[in-house]
Amino acid sequence: DDWSGESRDPATLSGGETFVVSLALALGLADVITQESGGADLDTLFVDEGFGSLDADTLDDVMDTLDSLRDGGRVVGVVSHVAEMRDRIPTQLVVTKSRSGSTLALTRSTSG
C-alpha cells in the first residue's frame, strides 16, 4: 500500500484499485512479451469497462496514461459507458441500440 507502506492482501482492494492494478499488469506484461519475443510489438490494447469504479482523479490519471500510450503509437480501444470519458477520446465508435437493431457511428474530434 503506497499510503501506509505496508503489504496488503489483494482481496482488500476496492473495485477501482483492482482495475488500476489490472491495467498496470496488462501494460507491464505487454512490455515483457515485446522484449522477450525478439521485438514483436504488442501495439494494440483493448480495455473493456472498469472505468465506472474510478473516482474522478483516478479516472483522469488512467486517461492520461491511455493518452500517452496512444501518443506513443499504440492503438487503444476502450469500451465504456462513463460519460466523462467522451470528451477525452478523440475517435469513437458509438453503438446505438434500437428495436430494429444496433447502428454504428464513427465520430472524430480534434480534442482528446
* CA neighbor of 88 nearest in space, from 54, 50, 49, 60: 60
Determine contact, residues 45/76, Cβ cutoff 8 Å. Answer: yes
Q: Which residue type does 55 have? A: D
| pLDDT the model gives residue 61 | 94
| pLDDT the model gives residue 23 | 92
- ∠ at Cα 94 (29, 90), nearest 5°? 65
Return the H-helix or E-strand segment holding 86.
Answer: none
Confidence of residue 112 (pLDDT cuts 50, 70, 90): low
- Give residue-wise pLDDT tens across range 33-78: 888 887 777 888 899 888 989 999 999 999 999 999 999 888 989 9
Indicate the burial class of 74 (C-beta count within 10 angstroms; 0-12, 13-18, 19 or more): middle
Residue 103 pLDDT greater than 90, yes or no: yes
